[in-house]
Chains A and B, each alone.
Chain A
Amino acid sequence: MSRVIVDVMLKPEIHDPQGDAVLSASHRLGFSNVSRVRQGKRFELEIDGPADEKEIEELARELLANPVIEEFTLRSAD
């Protein structure tokens, strides 16, 4: 079994109101040096056998991320 982590983030040019809300809450809590927050998603995949990077990339592009608004990165967790 292999494990792969896929991180999905909104593209930099897409407004992230959730990140903005977390930023202002951070300031209210006194963490005044936080200057920017972007919120994303992390998927942990367990694959039977060795991970085929091309196949996981396709899964990320087709399902885990919406390429219109999001970008993703893959990395092995083994």
Chain B
Amino acid sequence: MSEPMTLETLSALDTLLSEDELLVRDSVRRFVRERYLGRAGELFEQEQFPTELIPELADLGLLGAGLSGYGCAGMSAVQYGLILQELEYGDSGLRSFVSVQGSLAMYSIWAYGSEEQKQKYLPEMAKGNLIGCFGLTEPDSGSDPGSMQTRARKDGGEYVISGTKMWITNSPLAHLAVVWAKVDDGGPESIAGFIVERDASGFSTPTIHGKMSLRASVTGEIVLDEVRVPEERRLPAVRGLKGPLGCLSQARFGIAFGALGAAKSCFDSTVSYARTRVQFGVPIASKQLIQQQFAEMGSEIVKGDILSLHYGRMKDRQGGKLRPEQVSLCKRNNVRVALEVARTCRSILGGNGILLEYPAIRHMLNLESVYTYEGTHEVHTLVLGKAFTGLNAF
């Protein structure tokens, strides 16, 4: 048996990365392997997010890493993507925590906030002293965010916000929530973002228990019962759905890189299992059925890597902008690839595949959420269908 070639050796993608991109990736890689991987199964099993790691994540510069100024690390799109991929090699829950803090909560304030809001919140959020969450989805408003029920009524110098947000990553931990609401009796064009602080009266964040996915990440609701928010907490620079959708586009881009981290974790561990698991007197990796599955999975992972790197380079050249359809293509493809890889690895691992001792089933269950959140697979299909045909099938 000769030494196997790693995905990285075969794809040779490192040759397309600069020295600082490699150093950034390797630093986060080392962090995840030394500080998280050993505990990943246990944290998942115990439904626990390791809050004690937050200061370390902040010291490394991982919170709001893709933003510039205000104490943020100012990483490029490619560097940010590589970071998220390393985090998701650990667990999609760990990556979700960082995505929500940086790409959703901090990005909302960074892109749409006033200078005072940015000065007040962003440096503390980058240091991990303030944790944020992002309230868009509602119990009856998922893929169709324009149908949201949450309302903000103007009352003198304040807004009074009522409504319920659902499936909110980090909400039970959060010190502040960026909440999107329709203003007065307006339609989707009236949607505005508000920064709601934890101590606001009528604000609560019940935890959602019983998840079989993203168990190492805390998910909750945001309940807003006549919460009074002063005018200066409204995000002034955006109105309408393009506000929250702009944030989601950032987060989705990161997920396209990230999901492949989960796939690589499954792939690496399953290759090593198949080389040592002996049945019928030989390692199962010597069987053509198994080899074909590795050939398919490896090809898809490498193609996904090239896709996200291509769009990442483009995003960097274009001042951080990509067409939403390009982000949809990338997120949809790479998350589907990751989910299929995780399922295939689970089956190659046989009975061992259902144990948390091996990462496959944990990633597989996590990726069910990743497949659905940040624009469901189906919605991204419709986005692409509309792009390619010019006809709206929503």
A binds B: no
